[in-house]
């Protein structure tokens, strides 16, 4: 008899995400190395045991784009989650999670574009660019699109108040 797991019984992986904005309020996105399709995303990753979400966000920036030269603008009001498609669950995180539950941070990039280096120790991306905030949800894989639309709505309002 095959050992099957009910997807809904799996927990969410705790994580963070960063909407990194340049001086023109464009958002940093990078193209994933491990996807066959054009999959662009904002920096994100897991929270290590005992780590505070903001600390994890700064660590993820450094690990993924080579710099954490940024200041905090806003934190998402709520934890946001997404579910992986069923076919991906066995392939990602050894099938232990159904998706991620994330705390998101909007940050202002204080460095120069030349500070960004995606050729990190364990690269996740093969290209990056700045894009207008409204375009960000169109670039992400479909199963994360609703989460990205929520972020654009929440952080877009914060950025407008910031000016």
Residue pair 65/146 in contact by the 8 Å Cβ criterion: no
At 38-95, the pLDDT tens digits run: 889 999 999 999 999 999 999 999 999 999 999 999 999 999 999 999 888 988 888 9
pLDDT at residue 161 greater than cutoff 60? no
Residue 17 tokens read as: 């995400």
- CATH code assigned at 34: 3.90.79.10
The mean per-residue pLDDT over the stretch 5-28 comes to: 92
Question: CA 93 from chain center: how many Å?
Answer: 16
Domain that holds residue 30: 12-162
pLDDT at residue 2 greater than cutoff 60? no
User: Residue 126 has what pLDDT?
Assistant: 94
The mean per-residue pLDDT over the stretch 8-25 comes to: 94
User: Is residue 156 domain-resident?
Assistant: yes
User: Is residue 1 domain-resident?
Assistant: no
SS (H, E, C) 137-161: HHHCCHHHHHHHHHHHHHHHHHHHH
Residue pair 99/134 in contact by the 8 Å Cβ criterion: no
pLDDT at residue 121 greater than cutoff 50? yes
User: Residue 160 has what pLDDT?
Assistant: 64
Q: Report how many domains make up the chain.
A: 1
User: Residue 92 has what pLDDT?
Assistant: 87
How far apart are the C-alpha atoms of 26 and 59, rounded to whole Å? 22
Which residues are paired to 130 by β-bridges? 28
User: Residue 4 has what pLDDT?
Assistant: 58
At 18-48, the pLDDT tens digits run: 999 999 999 999 999 987 678 899 999 999 9
């Amino acid at each position: 008899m095959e050992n099957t797991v009910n997807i809904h019984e799996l927990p969410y992986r705790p994580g963070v995400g960063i909407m990194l904005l340049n001086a023109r309020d464009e958002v940093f996105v990078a193209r994933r190395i491990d996807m066959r399709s054009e999959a662009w995303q904002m920096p994100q990753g897991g929270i290590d045991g005992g780590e505070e979400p903001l600390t994890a966000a700064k660590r993820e920036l450094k690990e993924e784009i080579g710099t954490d030269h940024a200041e905090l603008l806003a934190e998402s009001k709520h934890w946001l989650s997404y579910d992986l498609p069923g076919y991906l669950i066995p392939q990602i995180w050894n099938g232990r999670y159904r998706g991620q539950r994330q705390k998101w941070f909007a940050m202002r990039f204080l460095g120069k574009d030349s500070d960004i280096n995606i050729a990190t120790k364990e690269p996740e991306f093969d290209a990056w660019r700045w894009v207008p905030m409204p375009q960000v949800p169109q670039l992400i894989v479909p199963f994360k699109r609703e989460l990205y639309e929520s972020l654009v709505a929440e952080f877009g309002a914060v950025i407008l108040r910031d000016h």
